Structures are given as structure tokens and as C-alpha cells.
Amino acid sequence: MNKNDFSILIGGAAGQGSRKAGLLIAKIFNTLGYGIFIYDDYQSLIKGGHSFSLIRISDKEPLSHSRSIDFLLALDERTIEEHEKDLNKEGTIVFNKDRIKNSKGIGVAIETIVKESGGIPIMANTALIAGFAKIMGIEWEVLEEILKKEIEREIDKNLEIAKKAFDGNQSIIEVKRLNNAPRPLLTGNEAVALGGVRAGLEIYYAYPMTPATGILHYLAEHSQDLNVCVSQLENEIAVINAAIGSAYAGKRSMVGTSGGGFALMTEALSMAVQAETPLVIVESQRPGPASGVPTYQAQGDLLFSLFAGHGDIVKFVIAPGDANEAFYWTARAMNLAWKYQTPVIVLIDKELSESTYNFNEEEIKKEEGKMWDGKGEYKRYLNLKDGISPMAFPGGKGVVKATSYEHDESGITTEEAEAIKKMQEKRMRKFELMREEAEKMPSVNVFGNLQSKTAVVCFGSVKGVVREAAEEAGLKMVQPLILEPFPQEQIKKALKGSEKIICVENNASGQLAKLLSCFGIKVDEKVLKYDGRPFFKEELKKII
């Protein structure tokens, strides 16, 4: 076993707290200077079923999770039944000895320890974490520090339980403390929330829909600290219309949903384009069609996001690939929305939304849009050369109109042919500026062997696993971040000299490959996975 790069899986039934336990284990190793990546797998259940967290620990930056498990931590027997096959030859099982009787490995009597200490059943997690920490050769002081920081209730009782489990086990390896400072651990949803705040987010609207719900929960929990108003409304139609209303009134607004909720938003999306109202829409994908598989992974909404809305739609679609990019590009999305007075879709997915990453903050600030100077008669849709009209908000000097109908410069509804033509051309001039800006921004990432004749192309959360697999295989990896307006020149430059192009996607139809073909880029091979699970590095490396 490589003691500086290994995988831990902790699993149990829903309600046993395996996810919280996995996060605590990750925070212990983060304190010791290790890089962290956590993938959470859970069913759409409150109790029962099977949930697990797969934690990658590395002295480098882990970008994905691994199928091969070094330590299997089992709160129930099903965890062993499901995952023992993935335990590597040198791997170790640490299990709940009170429930699992016939397992190889190291048993910890976690429920007995809790009962003898007068604790409650959920505290069995604390005992398992502590027993595992001792097995890994981690000092008690490190464990104690994390527990005191992370457990909010009955900390003395939890520490008593942890000490008994810790002292009752023996170390089998010794994990070294690295000379790296601990870094923040954020989920993609949390990074999206903070990115919006960084660029001036004032109001967040949502109706709960997995996997975007974490944004709602995080902003609601921290609304006072972040100075953000958070509103949960009755459905997604109400959500986007309320956001358009608050943006019209001058407040930076963002909404979050998944594919089914976004489907309900598309009529209002068109209205935002027509009314030239700035708005950020976070669309976190999950398997479809319809309700699909609510808590699992997919990238099947790319084409839907690109073509959503009726008429000639003017919008950005941006697809970050990890928590760092989610923070930066959500902030940039907010700035772009207010610069060009149009919707911006931030397209993420389950793996990015709910996985946990080390976070390295990148500097970005709020940028102001073009504002009216208060002189003369105010025309909301003033037909300027760049297509971007000065904004004003109700309550000031001018009369501020907004409309879903085609209109003249003042916002008065029109059916005159020449006026219709002028306003459509105005919006399209704006889109040309958006296209130019997409080419100027760092819209495409390139990693791996730049001299390779084979390029692997992907978008979104697949970035991490593709990058690791491509780099180990000596291939070039290309990741477009902006998908609309498509950065055609940057992509072609990144793919120059490639004799074979492989597209890797979490969908069944190769939607990114279809998009590339629209710009004359021929994809030679498609690697598609559509069972609700993300790629493992081992399987992807073997395929490519």
C-alpha cells in the first residue's frame, strides 16, 4: 500500500451517519496536510438502503476517486457484501463487531462502547472513527482536535466514547504528518454559493431539487454571515419569475435546480432574454428523463441547456469541473450576466455538486454593469452600437420598463417590422460581443502531454478523472469551460495536431461530441457511461 495515496470507503444504512463520519475522517487527514477528494453515494431514502463515502487521500492533489479500496469501514454487513470485491490485496476491513460476526479484518465493538458510556446509537460513528484513527497510527491529540471542532452536541460524551475505542485498538501503520498547511474542504455546491456571493449575490431563490439543494441549505444556514436573502418558493416557475423580478429591481439574483426544475423555467428564461434581465441559473444534472434517478450522476442536460428557450436566445452556458472552478466561474457568471444583461447558466452535475474538494480560492471581484447617467429621457432598450443598453432601476428618476413582448427603445410593445428587426439585431450584436469575450477568457483548459497525437475531451466534473487517466496514459486532455458562445478558436488551437479525438461523457448519446461536430470537429471515439455512476480512474485509463 502507498501510505501517501490511498482510498477509504465507509458505508452503512441511511440514518447511520456514514457521510458525516467520512467527512470527519477526511478532515483528520486534511489536518495532517493531505489532499482530499470525497465522493458520496446514497439512495433516495431517509432510513435503510445503502450509503457510502469514498475518500481519496493523497500527498498530491487527488482529482477523482478510485475503485480499489485500501480500507473498508463497515457500519453494517451490507457494506462488506457490496464492496469487499473492491478491496485490494493488502486492504483492511474495519467493521462493527456488534452487528457483523463473520468478517475478516479488525472488529470494533462500537455499539457496546456507546451503550456502556451511556451514549445514543448515532455515536457509534464516533467510536468507529476513533478506532480507525488508532489503526492508522494517528495521534489522539489530532483526533480530539477534530472532534471538538466538528461535533456540536454532547462533545464530552463523544470524546469519552472516542477515547475508549481509540485505546482499545492497535496501530498497524503510521500515517506521517506532511509539511502542508490544511486547506478548506468544500463541496461543489458550497463553492457555487460562495462564488455567487463573491460577485455580489443578494437574493437566492430555489425549490429543493437534488443535487442542487445543497446550495439552498448552505446559503440559508449562512445567510446572515454572507448577507444574502434566501427564499424557498412553491415551485421552479415561481423561483425564476421571482428572480427576474428582483433583478429588474436591481438585486443580483441566482436560482438553482436540476433538469426537471429547469424544464419548468424555460419559458421565463426566454422572457429574461427578451427583457434583457441579468440572471444566473445553476443547473445541477442528474439522470433523466423525468425524475430519473434523483441522487445519482449524469451529464445528460448539455444540449438541453444550450437550446433551452424559444426564439433566438442570447445567453452564456458555463461548465466548471471542480470546486475551485465552480467558485471562480459562478462569480464570473454573475459578472457576465450583469455586463451583458442576459441569463447565464452554470451547468454542473451531481458529482461536482456533492463531492468534497480541497479549495484554493482564486481572486475575482464584483464587476458593475453599464448604468444610466440620469440625463435626458430614460430608454431601457436604447439601441446602441454594442447592443448593451444602460440600466436603471425603479425608484429613481427614469421610468423603467421591462417586457416579454418585442418592444421599441422605451420598452413599448411593437409589432412594426422595422422595430422588430432592430431589436433582434441589437441582441445579436450583444451576442457577438459575448462570443468575442468567450474567446478572450480562459475558456479551455489543456492538461497532460501536449505533444500527444491523441486528445481526450470532456466537460464538467469528468475533468478530474479524465485528467488523471490521461496524464498517466501520456495523452492530452482538453476541457472546454464555456460551451455557449462556443470558444471555437480556443478549442481548435487546443486540438491542433491531434490525430485522434476521444470524448468522455456521463451520458448515453455523446452530447459534447455532437456539439463539437457543429463546429467541424470530428470525434473518433466516444467513451460513455450512463448507469448513474461516475467514472473510476482505473476503468477509464484502461479504455482510453
CA dihedral 222, 224, 225, 226 (to 10 degrees): 80
What pLDDT shows up at residue 2? 52
Evaluate whether 280 touches 255 at the Cβ level (below 8 Å): yes
Evaluate whether 56 touches 201 at the Cβ level (below 8 Å): no
Give the angle subtended at the CA of 158 by the CAs of 154 and 164, to the nearest 5°: 150
Cβ atoms < 10 Å from Cβ of 78: 17
Q: Where in the chain is the domain with CATH 3.40.50.970?
A: 186-358
What superfamily would CATH give domain 186-358?
Thiamin diphosphate (ThDP)-binding fold, Pyr/PP domains (3.40.50.970)
Distances (CA, A) of 392 to 382, 465, 475: 12, 45, 51
Ordered per-residue pLDDT tens for the chain, 544 residues:
556 899 999 999 888 888 999 999 999 999 999 999 999 999 887 778 899 999 999 999 999 998 899 999 999 999 999 999 999 999 999 999 998 887 789 999 999 999 999 999 899 999 999 999 999 999 999 999 999 999 888 899 999 999 999 999 999 988 999 999 999 999 999 999 999 999 999 999 999 999 999 999 999 999 999 999 999 999 999 999 999 999 999 999 999 999 999 999 999 999 999 999 999 999 999 999 999 999 999 999 999 999 999 999 999 999 999 999 999 999 999 999 999 999 999 999 999 999 999 999 889 999 999 999 999 999 999 999 999 999 999 998 889 999 999 999 999 999 999 999 999 999 999 999 999 999 999 999 999 999 999 999 999 999 999 999 999 999 999 999 999 999 999 999 999 999 999 999 999 999 999 999 999 999 999 999 999 999 999 999 999 9
List the CATH code of the domain at 5-167.
3.40.920.10
Distances (CA, A) of 106 to 101, 135, 168, 178: 11, 9, 11, 27
User: Which is nearest to 456 in space by CA: 348, 540, 351, 355?
Assistant: 540
- Cell matching residue 329: 466561474
List the CATH code of the domain at 445-543.
3.40.50.920
**Sheet arrangement for strand 476-480:** 444-448, 476-480, 454-457, 500-505, 525-528
Report which residue type is found at 440: K
User: Which is nearest to 504 in space by CA: 468, 482, 472, 535?
Assistant: 535
d(CA 278, CA 225): 25
DSSP secondary structure, 342-398, as one string? SEEEEEEEHHHHH-EEE------------B--S-SS--TT---TTS-PPB--TTSSS
- Helix or strand run (H / E) with residue 36: strand 35-41
Q: Where in the chain is the domain with CATH 3.40.50.920?
A: 445-543
Q: What is the pTM of this model?
A: 0.95
